[in-house]
Structure 1
Amino acid sequence: MPFPLIRPLRLATSSLLLLLCALAHAQPAPQPAAASTPAMRPAGSAPVDGTTPTPGGAAAAAPTAADAALLSRDARRIYELSRDKLVQIRTLLRNANTQASIGSGFFVSADGLIVTNFHVASQLALEPERYRGVYVTMEGQEGEVELLAFDVQRDLAVLRAKGRTAAAPVLGFRPTTDALAQGERIYSLGNPLDIGFAVTEGTYNGLVKRSFYPRIFFGGALNPGMSGGPAVDDAGRVLGVNVAKRLDGEQVSFLIPAEFAQALVQRAANAQPITQAAHAEMTRQLMEHQQLLTDRFLKAPFREQRHGNYRLPVPDDALARCWGSGRDPAFPGLNLERTQCQADSDVVAGDFSTGAVRLSYEAYNAPTLGAARFARMYSQSFANERLPTRGNRHQTAAECTERFVDPGTVPLRAVVCLSAYRKLTGLYNMTVLATSVNQPTQGVLGRLDVQGIAFDNGMKLASHYLKAFRWEAAP
């Protein structure tokens, strides 16, 4: 199965033209990172394994008309209770005064502090000379906002409504000591697809398994434009912040737990507005992220995946999801098995993502091909691997080193490539490509990709990875 995609919910205004043609197919902001792998889940396949299941696993009974009416009344009550506390966040080009992106937010203090997602406000943090921000209430009142603080790791930001004289109506937070029950009904609010403010009913399904930072699995529909809006309980207390949805499923959405928003609000209360590009602060936070990532991978021993006599390193179940495929009929005479693993550790860094860790393997066994034919095929497979040799506006062109190494029980041909971030000093994207060279008609090709890693930690992870390849001779 290909890597699943999770899309943040900011709405790029370039999609508004498509909205006029087909609302159901409006395109959100460009997908950061991982967009090259399609998100597809066949009908009838296993449920998403990144979530905490409902105890007992029993199917819910179909709601009666009375139940539906009660739920509808609850949603209307939540809507009326929250409507004056909600805002739309718009990012505008300073010169043209046109919208660049749209998200949602909500007031959390009488003096006008607003919580939203970092990916909604990232242009204000990274390009304040080009962009400015405004908030718009449900009644159409508009005002300027200034950015006070952001948390890249958890995708949160706190803004302040500038020049506001009247006290802002406030949404309160649900106490962390008041735990939610599995299956409890909750409500997400925001401005989907720039159509208008809306409330979406859904259920609390616990925390997402294997998520690098805690995320709530919301069993309800979120759409682009709802990023940064609140999710509340039946008393109208904020329990989470809308952030993303799965592209390959229905009503599989995610919320940031409210405790992290509360912590950022406390940090922002006495902060000065961010008026200069904040790449240094983003770098500091991403450095913390990559250190946590490195520590977790180094402390958790690799599991071994068997392919014939080869033993290949696979991340611990607590760190990553893995998918595999068996023999490929497109390659007759060749037993080819594939494995792909991905850690749920991506963070949004403006208009791109970083912090991801991905591993993949191809294991070959072709006893009928002969050594020469196998070598040609095996070498071509190695050459077909795309390496990041070309730069872009975020990163430099990669520098690669190739050598033959024998770190354990398998001699390997290894290539290590590093590409530096232009504005995030000290951070790199790293690719490690390794092939075994110990058998004439068998081999394994492994690849490790790590985004946003410091040089020293990159070398530690590369060494940790290569040393984990093993060959176990037949008795």
Structure 2
Amino acid sequence: ALPPAPAASAPISLSARKVYEQARSQLLQIRTVLKGRASQTSVGSGFLVSREGHIVTNFHVVADAALKPERHDLVYVTADGREAPLQILQLDVLHDLALLKAADTAQPAGDFEALGFRPVAQPLAQGERIYSLGNPLDVGFAVTEGTYNGLVKRNFYPQIFFGGALSGGMSGGPALDEQGRVVGINVARRVDGEQVSFLVPAGFAAALLARGREATPITAPAHGIVTDQLVQHQTALVERFIAQGWKPLTHPRYQVPVPSDQFMRCWGSSEPSRTGGLDLERSDCVMDTRIFVGDYTTGAISVRHESYDGTKLGTMRFAARYSASFRNEGFTRLRSEHQTKPQCREDYVDREGLPLRAVVCLRAYKKLPGLYDLVVLVATLDQKQVGVQGRFDAQGLSFANAQKLAKFYLEAYAWSR
């Protein structure tokens, strides 16, 4: 669920009140409860999208029930306090969506009120008002008013930049236009800023409803479904990442791999005065998009390099610091309940006369068969007082694509020309 956000200071508008009153009967709180007990383990929001009782929410709202159905049940609660069980029909892990259906014997099928989707032929305009609804922090149903600010830059999958506040518990709730039509689904917010929130475009939810309307309920753990979708994701990710190539980096001695900023964000830093005589320049490039899988994320790439200048230290002290930095790299991203121990191979590589020390490590996912996390470490070895070290991380890869990315990364190191 989303972390808490401060409440908007502006009073609610008449339009927001109207939208809320019109949509109130279609709003739901989605609760994950321990099987056979009344205690809830998590809460989110959802909304009705068909008269037959189909409901859309986020995958991360129902992940515990989808992956551990032997421990958890799902129920919904209406704005009037009526509670009934839920079934999972379809999952879209890549866009963080789930399609549910009410299993309510007290409410006849075909008798539900539903929200409609805004037509694709009517795209949102920059600055258009949006109204996000949900049950923040389990205190009651509410509406948050904000603006449409286009799609988020550098996201691997489209997300709407919503200029409004979302709070924990609103995940999976609808974002509506002034006519009460669904334009997005609440999914996340930035914790380092205010009024910076994100919505899944409504088109993905409409497509999920079309695919899953007649689906058989999912009753077994959904790891196989999740794995299949992650395989699709990593195939597309690797193809796009390799196709974009590397950006040129100005370095006096080496060509160092720095990724394009199409779907990654890069930050640089320089620390000439805080490293005890060792001048250090660093670049970190990370994806904003990560795929939520239960209590961890996967499906992302990150690239880092560090340029060391130890001419003030001398050869012996530089060698000790340079080697220690290489040894300090860690691999414990996930607990052992999710992954095997890393299997690593270290070797010395000659890149057209440039000597490199390279370590390649893989960790397998225990419940996502055929998927691995990859780590590649590199250090140049041609100089006694200067050098470059790099690290490449990619999560949720097939073995073949892990090999392909490791080769692609290592071959990017060369002499400057």
- Identify the residue that residue 253 of structure 2 maps to in structure 1: 309
Tell me the equivalent position of 2:44: 103
Match of 1:76 in 2: 17
Q: Distance in 2 between matches of 1:397 and 1:181?
A: 49
| Distance in 1 between residues matched to 2:401 and 2:351, nearest whole Å | 18
Q: Which runs of 5+ in 2 are unaligned?
A: none
Residue 344 of structure 1: how far off its partner (Å)? 2.4
Q: Distance in 1 between matches of 2:128 and 2:20?
A: 18
Q: Choose the corresponding residue for 2:70, options 129, 137, 156.
A: 129
8 Å Cα contact 1:186/1:231 also seen in 2 = yes
Check the 8 A contact 2:57/2:98 in 1, yes or no. Answer: yes
Moved over 6 A (4+): none
Return the alpha-carbon distance in structure 1 between the equivalents of residues 322 and 180 of structure 2. Answer: 60
Look up the equivalent residue of 2:94 and give its one-letter code. Q
| TM superposition shift of 1:438 | 1.0
Indicate if the aligned counterparts of 1:409 and 1:469 stay in contact, CA closer than 8 A: no
- Which of 72, 86, 90 is the equivalent residue of 1:145? 86
Partners of 2:146 and 2:353 in 1: CA distance: 52
How far did 1:431 drift? 0.8
In the TM superposition, what is the alpha-carbon distance from 1:327 to its structure 2 partner? Answer: 2.6
Residue in 1 aligned with 2:114? Answer: 170
State the 1:389 CA deviation. Answer: 9.2
Residue 213 (1) aligns with residue 157 (2): yes
| Separation (CA, whole Å) in 2 of partners of 1:172 and 1:389 | 41
Q: Distance in 1 between matches of 2:172 and 2:38?
A: 22
| Contact 1:389 1:397 (8 Å CA) reproduced | no
What one-letter code is carried by the residue in structure 1 that aligns with 2:82? Q
**2:369 maps to 1:425:** yes
Contact 1:107 1:114 in 2 (8 A): yes
SS of aligned partner of 2:322: helix
What amino acid is the match of 1:327? E
Q: What SS is found at the alignment partner of 2:248?
A: strand
Q: Secondary structure at the match of 1:361?
A: strand
- Residue 337 of structure 1: aligned partner: 281
One-letter amino acid of the structure 1 residue matched with residue 92 of structure 2: D
Q: TM-score, normalised by structure 2?
A: 0.95
Q: Deviations over 1:91-136 (max 9, x none)?
A: 0010333101100000000010000000011122111111100000
Deviating more after overlay: 159-168 vs 422-431: 159-168
Aligned to 1:285: 229
What is the aligned partner in structure 2 of residue 85 from structure 1?
A: 26
Look up the match of 2:327.
383
Q: SS of the counterpart of 1:168?
A: coil
Query: What residue is the counterpart of 2:101 in the other structure?
Result: 160
The residue aligned with 1:202 is: 146
Distance 1:391 1:256, change over 3 A: closer
2:239 aligned with 1:324: no
Partner residue of 2:195? 251
SS of residue paired to 2:90: strand
Instruction: Give 1:461 shift.
Output: 0.5
Question: Closer, same or farther in 2 for the Cα pair 1:198/1:285, shift >3 Å?
Answer: same
Measure the CA separation in 2 of the matches of 1:252 and 1:186: 13
Deviations 1:269-312 (A, max 9, x none): 11000011111111100000010111011111111222332221
C-alpha RMSD over aligned residues: 1.8
Matched-pair contact (CA < 8 Å) for 1:426–1:455: yes
For residue 190 of structure 1, report the CA deviation from its aligned partner: 0.3
Q: Which residue of 2 aligns with 1:223?
A: 167
Rounded to whole Å, the distance in 1 between the matches of 2:41 and 2:153 is 34
